[in-house]
Structure 1
Amino acid sequence: MNAVLVEGQVLSSRRRGILDYVTERGVVPVGDLLERFSLSRASINRDLLALSAQGLLRRVGPDITALPSASSSGSVVYRARQAVAQKQAIAALAASLISPGDTVALDDSTTVRAMADSLSAIASLTVVTNSLGLGTRLGACETLGLIGLGGRYSPTFEAFVGMVCEQSVMSMHIDLAFVSAAAIHGLTAYHQIEEIIRAKQALMAVADSRVLLVDSGKFGNSAMNRLAALSEFDVVITDDGIDPGYAAMLRDAGITLKIAAVSLPADRALTAG
């Protein structure tokens, strides 16, 4: 998608461009934005006010700065641009685990969202998700059933979270749950936001099989809150950029690790081991 939702409204390609421009540079004078995007001062002020309301940009005197949420793993706008080839290869390998007729749960992550293009070819598939962005993409697909989880909407994650989301999934039976994490430290997966973690854990709790999708750049990092031990997942899928020593440590610990070959086209992603 070329747009993200901000408080119920579509973030235009122009505002997306402004956000990208500031995020890449860190600090940008308002005058530079006026010249770069050929806007009137009134128009740029409206755009900056909208981006500020979402917590993506901040105005300090004549300068515009990117807030941490715009340049961290928390922002869909930022995450969607990171490790794109790796996510596509991981997602293709993950989709190969699904059988016709399965009911699968997909979380809000951009890694899991990359599975969307592979799902329409799987017969009689039912998808359960708390991701509005993913639900919007899959909603037009007539070959699968889509169940959207409600709750409180988080614009930053384009996802529904909270008690309503968590409780609504508890009456379901899921064949496979696909989730991602912000960081892997040792043998544990972490994420920075508690509500996002609880939504992921709710999907995992009702699933027969749990699959963790995480690109190699997240290994050896950490975030504030614990999501799960890697041993709680039936399969961990990453890409071939993972350090061989780290991969060996995971396998020695009994983790079922599958490695997607990024050097090949996504639909030919291979499994190592």
Structure 2
Amino acid sequence: MTIEAGAGAARPSGDKQPTKAARLAYISAAVRREGFVNVEDLADSLNVSRMTVHRDLDELQSLGTLRKVRGGASAQRSTRFESDLQYRLASAVEEKRRMAAVAAELANGGDVVLVDDSTSALAVVPRLGQRGPMTVITNFLPAMQALVGHPEISLIALGGLYEERYAAFLGVLCENNLADLYADVLFASTSALRDTVLYHQDQRVVTAKQAMIRAAGRRVLLLDHSKIGQGALHRLGDIADFTHVVVDDLVPKEVIRRLADTGVEVLIG
């Protein structure tokens, strides 16, 4: 079996040996599209040895694009690995769109709004300008890029060390900035919920999100069904740290009841 080429990754043809850059681009596109790639299939598709594929996977793993697993590599999250940004942007798109429509109703014209580095919160961003003039604070580069020059939005960009794999500014500077700010509403997400406890794979992301929680009045968590019942290395906090939770309609009713029992308002998108 061979892997079909997708957007952004032309499949090498004939007996021509692809360059390293071409191989890395091809593998990255394949794992983002399929979620899992097999070493044997990659070797066949790229016309290279399995050892070459393993070296390429090692490099992509070091960049945070994928994680190596037995027989291949995966783009899906694990306890210690958060999925690549491009993979997350392409995941649960319709669920995020519906949740964003519900969540955006919790922001009002004149509000100061915090947006974290999640793709779920990013889905809310295009709707903010429709709610009236407001100030948006974020550490997430895609959110900044979406809002720059918007006539209804005053944009505050949080500082910090730029982390390419998250497209976000993190670290002490980001957290210190947040300590000096207050927002009316926060839109945030994370990668895992087990019972009523929230987790994330990266401690730097956790401390930035915790600083955002402390800085906001209304705190809105967006969680699609893929996060439910999952775990990750670092504890972020508890559902009760938020005032509202927005879930998609695939989240089981018993989970919704458990969340509501904590006192948080649960909304379904």
TM-score band by shorter chain is: 0.7 to 0.9
- The aligned counterpart of 1:20 is 32
Change (3 A) 1:14 1:119: farther
Q: Which amino acid aligns with 2:181?
A: M
Deviation at 1:153, TM superposition (A): 1.5
Write the distance in 1 (CA, Å) between the matches of 2:107 and 2:27. 37
Write the distance in 1 (CA, Å) between the matches of 2:228 and 2:31. 28
- The aligned counterpart of 1:270 is none
Any idea what SS the aligned residue of 2:36 has? helix
2:130 to 98, 103, 121: 121
Change (3 A) 1:31 1:166: same
Any idea what SS the aligned residue of 2:132 has? coil
Deviation at 1:15, TM superposition (A): 7.3
Change (3 A) 1:174 1:247: same
Q: Deviations over 1:58-109 (max 9, x none)?
A: 89xxxx9436xx3327131222222111111111111111100111000001
- The aligned counterpart of 1:254 is 263
Change (3 A) 1:121 1:28: farther
**Identity of matched residues, %:** 34
Does residue 1:71 correspond to 2:83, yes or no?
no
Write the distance in 2 (CA, Å) between the matches of 1:49 and 1:189. 30
Any idea what SS the aligned residue of 1:201 has? helix
Superposition RMSD on alpha carbons, in Å? Answer: 3.2
Question: Contact 1:214–1:237 (CA<8 Å) still a contact in 2?
Answer: yes
Write the distance in 2 (CA, Å) between the matches of 1:19 and 1:241. 25
Greater shift after overlay, 161-170 or 76-85?
A: 76-85
Write the distance in 2 (CA, Å) between the matches of 1:136 and 1:231. 32
Question: Contact 1:22–1:66 (CA<8 Å) still a contact in 2?
Answer: no
- The aligned counterpart of 1:101 is 110
- The aligned counterpart of 2:194 is 185
Question: Contact 1:102–1:125 (CA<8 Å) still a contact in 2?
Answer: yes
Change (3 A) 1:252 1:144: same
Write the distance in 2 (CA, Å) between the matches of 1:49 and 1:245. 41
Instruction: Return the TM-score normalized by structure 2.
Output: 0.77
Question: Contact 1:185–1:219 (CA<8 Å) still a contact in 2?
Answer: yes
Q: How many residues align?
A: 240
Does residue 1:205 correspond to 2:210, yes or no?
no
2:170 to 141, 144, 161: 161
Deviation at 1:136, TM superposition (A): 1.4
Deviation at 1:21, TM superposition (A): 5.5
Write the distance in 2 (CA, Å) between the matches of 1:231 and 1:20. 33
Deviation at 1:248, TM superposition (A): 1.7
Write the distance in 2 (CA, Å) between the matches of 1:110 and 1:207. 19
Any idea what SS the aligned residue of 2:32 has? helix
Write the distance in 2 (CA, Å) between the matches of 1:258 and 1:218. 16
Q: Which amino acid aligns with 1:254?
A: G
Greater shift after overlay, 23-32 or 82-91?
A: 23-32
Change (3 A) 1:50 1:137: farther
Q: Which amino acid aligns with 2:154?
A: G
Any idea what SS the aligned residue of 1:253 has? coil
2:145 to 136, 155, 161: 136
- The aligned counterpart of 2:120 is 111
Instruction: Return the TM-score normalized by structure 1.
Output: 0.76
Change (3 A) 1:53 1:197: closer
Q: Which ranges of structure 1 fall in alignment gaps of 5 or more residues?
A: 4-11, 36-43, 261-273
Write the distance in 1 (CA, Å) between the matches of 2:58 and 2:102. 41
Any idea what SS the aligned residue of 2:256 has? helix
Deviation at 1:169, TM superposition (A): 1.5
Write the distance in 2 (CA, Å) between the matches of 1:17 and 1:221. 25
